[in-house]
A and B are shown apart, each in its own frame.
Chain A
Amino acid sequence: AQKITQTQPGMFVQEKEAVTLDCTYDTSDPSYGLFWYKQPSSGEMIFLIYQGSYDQQNATEGRYSLNFQKARKSANLVISASQLGDSAMYFCAMRETNTGTASKLTFGTGTRLQVTL
């Protein structure tokens, strides 16, 4: 069963606008972590933001925020004030332990974001 689902293969957003990239997940583990990574055309995976399953507040990192809705099992990434440099692939990933224990990440298929003028 697919554990991370990203239903938007591609998205367009105008510069300076906000955009939401969708991610839903499936797990029976009560302790887990959710991540978003950016992969520009250069290929390197760049960590953006993390949300733990027990975190009370939605995570924010600069222009990135994570809209975490636990009951719906969704962890959407919101990018505010989009910039041309935000054009890239974005991957949602889950780790099925929360903190303190190393564990593999399971990735979605990604969303390609294109920022236009």
Chain B
Amino acid sequence: GAGVSQTPSNKVTEKGKYVELRCDPISGHTALYWYRQSLGQGPEFLIYFQGTGAADDSGLPNDRFFAVRPEGSVSTLKIQRTERGDSAVYLCASSSAGDTQYFGPGTRLTVL
């Protein structure tokens, strides 16, 4: 079956702009996670959804970051007023309840 997909694969934007990153989880997976991976580091947790609701958003760095999952499937990570420090690979993962998380290919965000 299809894995986790993320679009776009690459996004280049200018400082101060707004961006949206999309994640399409594995069909039937109820949990969806967002992580951010900076160069040379392991992924860092941002937020996860159980169904439509954010179960844990403790990793969001500030109020410029927001994520939604309105129908319990596709999720969008939204970043307002982007800064150069937001440049990273944004990884999405999904799981069936508490099972193993399967990752998508990531979106590489570059803020100029």
Residue of B nearest to A97 (CB): B98
B31-77: which have CB < 8 Å to A?
A: 31, 33, 35, 40-45, 48, 50, 55-56, 59
Closest A residue by C-beta to B50: A102
Cβ contact within 8 Å between B100 and A50: yes
* A47–B44 CB distance below 8 A: no
Shortest distance from the beta carbon of B104 to any chain A beta carbon, whole Å: 7
For the complex, give the distance between the alpha carbons of A37 and B42 in Å.
11
CB nearest to A4 among chain B residues: B42
Interface positions of A from 83 to 117, Cβ below 8 Å from B = 91, 93, 95, 97-110
B89 contacts the other chain (CB 8 A): yes
Task: Tally chain A residues at the interface, Cβ within 8 Å.
Answer: 27
A104→B59 contact, CB < 8 A: yes
Count of inter-chain pairs, beta carbons less than 8 A: 66
Q: Are A42 and B42 in contact (CB under 8 A)?
A: no
Q: Does any Cβ of A come within 8 Å of B101's Cβ?
A: yes
- Residue in B closest to A6 when the chains form the complex, CB atoms: B42
Count B interface residues, CB 8 Å: 30
| Cβ 8 A contact of A35, one of B45, B91, B98, B100 | B100
Interface string of A12-34 (1 = CB under 8 A from B): 00000000000000000000000
B25 at interface (Cβ–Cβ under 8 A)? no
B55 closest partner in A (C-beta) = A102
A44 to B103, Cβ gap below 8 A? yes
Interchain CB contact under 8 A, B101 and A100: no
Partner of B31, one of A4, A50, A102: A102
Tell me if A44 and B105 are in contact (CB < 8 A).
Answer: yes
Closest A residue to B43 by CB, please name it. A107
Known: A44-B106, A102-B98, A104-B33. 19 other contacts (CB 8 A): A4-B42, A43-B89, A44-B105, A45-B43, A45-B91, A45-B93, A47-B100, A98-B98, A99-B99, A100-B97, A102-B95, A102-B97, A103-B56, A103-B98, A105-B43, A105-B101, A107-B42, A108-B42, A109-B42
A residues near B, CB below 8 A? Answer: 4, 35, 37, 42-47, 50, 91, 93, 95, 97-110
